[in-house]
A and B are shown apart, each in its own frame.
Chain A
Amino acid sequence: MRSPNLVRHAWTIASKDLLVELRSRTAILSVAVFVVLVLVVFHFGRDPTAVSNIDLAPSILWVTFTFAAILALNRAFQIELENQALDGLLLAPIDRSSIYLGKLIANLVFVAAIELLGVPLLALFFNVPVLPVLGPLALVILLATIGFVSVGTLFSAMTVRTRFAELLLPVLLLPFMILPLSWAARATGSLFAGRPLSEVDGWLNMLAVYDLVFVVLAILLFPATVNE
């Protein structure tokens, strides 16, 4: 009885967040412009004759996603601060974990939308052969994104009620992001270099285990971050 409700409530919260975002479109547009700007900055921050595009592409991709995701994550609980919306959510007769799951789903959709923009732009700006490895690349991106968004959503629930929330979230989150990011960057590098898929297996397994551990952990820990 409990678990169908959990998912249903989570979906309600996620669709509420996404609807708010769809109506206003401020956050998604800002982050989209931010992604374009970071990619442009990367172009001007290197010497194209010294470093080839293909060598730098995994770093560009993952650094861009890291910063864009942090911007997006800050937003998730920030919108609940206005008019004490969070208190309203907490008063609702639903499992606290479903609030977390809902926020996680909304964040994942949000970050995925940014990544959907980022990958073609990377291919366009830096002439990276993305199409031949699109399937495995999408899997790497999906797994890594679930990993750091799950931790990030949990942390943003805490940092939003501290001083310097925008600064504290990256400080807390980056040490946790580095592991999935480093695996994802390695995997992306192998893919872009046209290495066989078997080389990527190990990284994918690590990412999947990391996701599983941290999603479960965050679902269990989230109620502790909001209990009054």
Chain B
Amino acid sequence: MRMLRVGRWITAIGLVLLAGVYVRALVYTPLEASQGLAQKIFYLHVPAAIWAETAMFLVGLAYLFTKDPRLDRFAASSAEVGTVFCAIVLTTGPIWGKPIWGTWWSWDARLTFTLFLFLIYVGYLLLRGAVADPGARARFAAVLGICGMCEVPFIHLSVYMFPTLHPMPIVLQPGRPKLPASMLETWLLSLGVFTLLYVGFVVQRYAVSYLREQLEAMSEA
């Protein structure tokens, strides 16, 4: 199928570029003064986090209004990719935390709430697995997705209310980014690559679920 091939190509290009981002991050981007090498994980951690959260927003898309099965398929694909990206954030976070904070896990507000985002995703996938009827599955998933979407701003607000060890946002903040230009360039490049990876994964996953539905329809007929 053409879509699956396109998805594979996008993902492959994304993965090659990701290697490129890391070459650039390690060789051509200056070392951060206080954190040293550990800061390099930032180029992986933050773009993954941004897409992990954005995927949640996309999941809540207007399936309920249109009842279009394509939207539901897209929501399911996006949630699965979001789960993987959340897992990347939750893995890279502690790897950075060990040398910088001196502990793998700190129950820091952001870390905790990324964990909850991850759990919402897992719950979403579990709910999809537990409903047999495709129509009900799509509606339930949309309801949970929209609730998840509305939860995210509260999570963000909470970050500022709890005492935290997590670095405050330095790119997406009021005023201009506080990052030196060379680091910002590497970071933006990485964000672009992660966007490509997100699109590639979702397209592939979408194609797979479409094929599966076709197969099920054929076996029933």
Contact = CB atoms under 8 A, between A and B. Distances in A.
Contacts, number: 72
Contacts of A163: 130
Contacts of B147: 151, 154, 176, 214, 217, 221
A175 B120 contact: yes
Majority secondary structure of chain A interface residues (helix, strand, loop or mixed): helix
B150 A168 contact: no
Interface in B121-178: 122-123, 126-127, 130-131, 136, 139-140, 142-144, 146-147, 150-151, 154-155, 157-158, 161-162
B143 A224 contact: yes
Interface of B: 64, 116-117, 119-120, 122-123, 126-127, 130-131, 136, 139-140, 142-144, 146-147, 150-151, 154-155, 157-158, 161-162
A172 B151 contact: no
A210 B142 CA distance: 20
A178 interface: yes
29 contacts: A154-B143, A155-B144, A158-B127, A158-B140, A158-B143, A158-B144, A161-B131, A161-B136, A162-B130, A164-B130, A168-B126, A171-B122, A172-B126, A172-B127, A175-B117, A175-B120, A176-B120, A178-B116, A179-B154, A183-B161, A202-B161, A210-B154, A213-B150, A214-B150, A221-B143, A221-B146, A221-B147, A224-B142, A227-B139
Contacts of B161: 183, 202, 206
Contact of B116 (A175, A210, A225): A175
Interface of A: 151, 154-155, 158-159, 161-164, 168, 171-172, 174-176, 178-179, 182-183, 202, 206, 210, 213-214, 217, 221, 224-225, 227
Contacts of B146: 217, 221
The 9 tightest CB contacts between A and B, nearest first, are A162-B130, A172-B123, A175-B119, A175-B116, A158-B140, A175-B120, A221-B143, A224-B139, A171-B123
Nearest to B158: A179
A225 B143 contact: yes
